[in-house]
Amino acid sequence: MSYKNSEKHMNKTRRYFGTDGIRGKVGVSPITPDFVLKLGWAAGKVFSGNAEKHTVLIGKDTRISSDMFESSLVAGFAAAGMNSYLLGAIPTPGVAYLTRAMHATAGVVISASHNRYHDNGIKFFSPDGMKLPDDMEWKIEQFIDQSIETASSKQIGRVQVLDQAQRSYIEFCKSSVPNHLSLQGVKIVLDCAHGAAYEIAPAIFKELGAEVIEIGVSPDGFNINAGCGATDTRVLQETVIAEQADVGIALDGDGDRIIMVDHKGEAVDGDELLFVFARYRQQKGALQGGVVGTLMSNVGLELAFNDLSIPFIRSKVGDRYVLEKMLSENWSLGGESSGHIIALDLMTTGDGIITALQVLIAMIEKQQSLHALKSGMQKFPQVLVNVVCGRKVDLAQSSEIQAVLKYAEASLKQQGRVLLRPSGTEPVIRVMVEGRDILFVKQLADEIAQVVENALKA
C-alpha cells in the first residue's frame, strides 16, 4: 500500500476524512460513538476483505473521550471480523512503528493531536506505517454508507491488551542514538503536554543519560494541550531559563510534532529544526537529495537552503502532503513549521521524540548549543491569524478578499508573502503574512483577517 497509488481517487470527494484523518468536536457528528463504531466496521471491511482474520493496533492519547472511542472502534472491528490489540496511551509515531514492526494489517490512533480535550479524532496507518492514501480513505467512506453486517459468531474479532507496546517504542527511539553517544551531562526540560507521551518521553531521555525536568506529565483527561506543549511554550521557556537547562523540548498531545527551546529561552520552531537537521546531515554526507517544506515554511528557510545549495521544494500544508513530495522526489527529509519533521530513514511519519534526539546528537557531536546551530537561518517575521469559519467558502470567489490580497502583496514589494487557506484540522481560515518589518506584517495580517471575517458574515 503506497502513496504512489493515491492519485487514482483524488477526484472523488471525501466527506469525513481531512488532511489528518477524521477530527472534530466530541458529541457532534461525526465524532460520536455510533459513527466511530461504524467507522471501525467500515475500515475493518476494507482492510480485511473476505480473507481470514486480520489484526489492527489501536493507540490513543489521554483526553477524556479516548476510552469511549476505543470501545466503539473495537466493537466495529470485531463486527468486521478483525482482531484488535490495544496499545494504551502511546504517541502517534509509536503506533506507526508498531504497525510496521508487527506486520499488522493496520494501525489506528484516537487523538485530536494539538487540539484541546473537547475535540477528538481517528487516524489510520497502513501496514507500512504510513498514513492511508486517499483511495483507501475513499473506500472506507463507501462502506460507512452501508448497514453493518456482523461477521458470524465464529468469525467475530477478539481484543487483547499489548502490555509491551510502550517498552517496544521506547527501545526503538533509543536505538536511533548511536551506541557511542550518551546524553550524560545534558539538562533537559521536557513538556509532554499532558498527552500521549507523558510516560514514554521522560523514560527515553532519562535512560539515555540526560537530566530531565518534567512538566506536562499529569494528564487528567481535560488538561491535554492546555497552556503547555508544542502549541504553548511559555512555561517551558520560563522553566528553561529558571533551571539553566541546555534545551527545552515541547511535544504536542499525540507526540508527532515538536517545538524546542534553546538555552536562552528562545523558541525554535519546525523550520529552524529542519534547518539544523538538514545542515547537520549535509555536513555528515548523509542528506539524501533535498528537503520538502510547505506553503507555510518561512522564506528564511528557503534562503538558508539556497546558501547551502540544498534543494528545497514546498508541498501543500499537512504532513501527508510533505510525505507524498518526499516519496516522489526520493528525498529522506521534510517537515512543517508546526514541528512535524519526517526523516524516512528513521521513521515513516512525524515523530517529536526522534526529532529531539537527532537535534541533541547534532548538539553533542558539533559541541554547539541549539542557539548556535540555528543561527545559520534568519527567519522573516511571520504573523498568523485564525478567522473562525463555520461554513465552507470559496475564497477565490470573493472580490473583497481578492482585492485585499492584491493590495497586501503590492505593499510587501516582493519582500514577503501572503497566504490564505482553510485549515485541514480546525474550522478556521488561516491568514499568514510574512515580511521584513514585523509591525507592518502584523498590520497587514489584521487588515486581511478583518476583510475575511466580514466576507464570511456576508
- C-alpha–C-alpha distance, residues 50 and 155, integer Å: 11
Q: In a 3-state reduction of DSSP, which class is residue 119?
A: strand
Q: In a 3-state reduction of DSSP, which class is residue 384?
A: strand
**Cell 478556521 found at:** 428
Contacts made by residues 260-263, CB under 8 angstroms, sequence distance 24+: 260/356, 260/359, 260/370, 261/189, 261/233, 261/236, 261/237, 262/369, 262/370, 262/371, 262/374, 263/369, 263/370, 263/371
For residue 265, the surrounding DSSP H or E stretch is none
Q: Determine how many CB atoms are found less than 10 A away from the CB of residue 4.
A: 10
Q: In the 8-state DSSP scheme, what is residue 338?
A: T
Structural contact between residues 110 and 61, judged by C-beta atoms closer than 8 angstroms:
yes
Catalytic, out of 6, 48, 111, 113: 113
Distance of alpha carbon 394 from the chain centroid: 26
- C-alpha–C-alpha distance, residues 244 and 241, integer Å: 5
- C-alpha–C-alpha distance, residues 181 and 239, integer Å: 26
Residue 392 grid cell: 465552507
Q: Determine how many CB atoms are found less than 10 A away from the CB of residue 166.
A: 21
**What value, to the nearest 5°, has the Cα angle with vertex 93 and ends 172 and 63?**
125
Distance of alpha carbon 392 from the chain centroid: 23
Structural contact between residues 255 and 242, judged by C-beta atoms closer than 8 angstroms:
no
Structural contact between residues 371 and 263, judged by C-beta atoms closer than 8 angstroms:
yes
Q: What are phi and psi of 124, to 5 degrees?
A: -115, 150
* 270-284 vs 352-366: helix crossing angle, rounded to 10: 50
Q: Check if 113 is active-site.
A: yes
Structural contact between residues 127 and 103, judged by C-beta atoms closer than 8 angstroms:
yes
Q: Which residues are catalytic?
A: 113
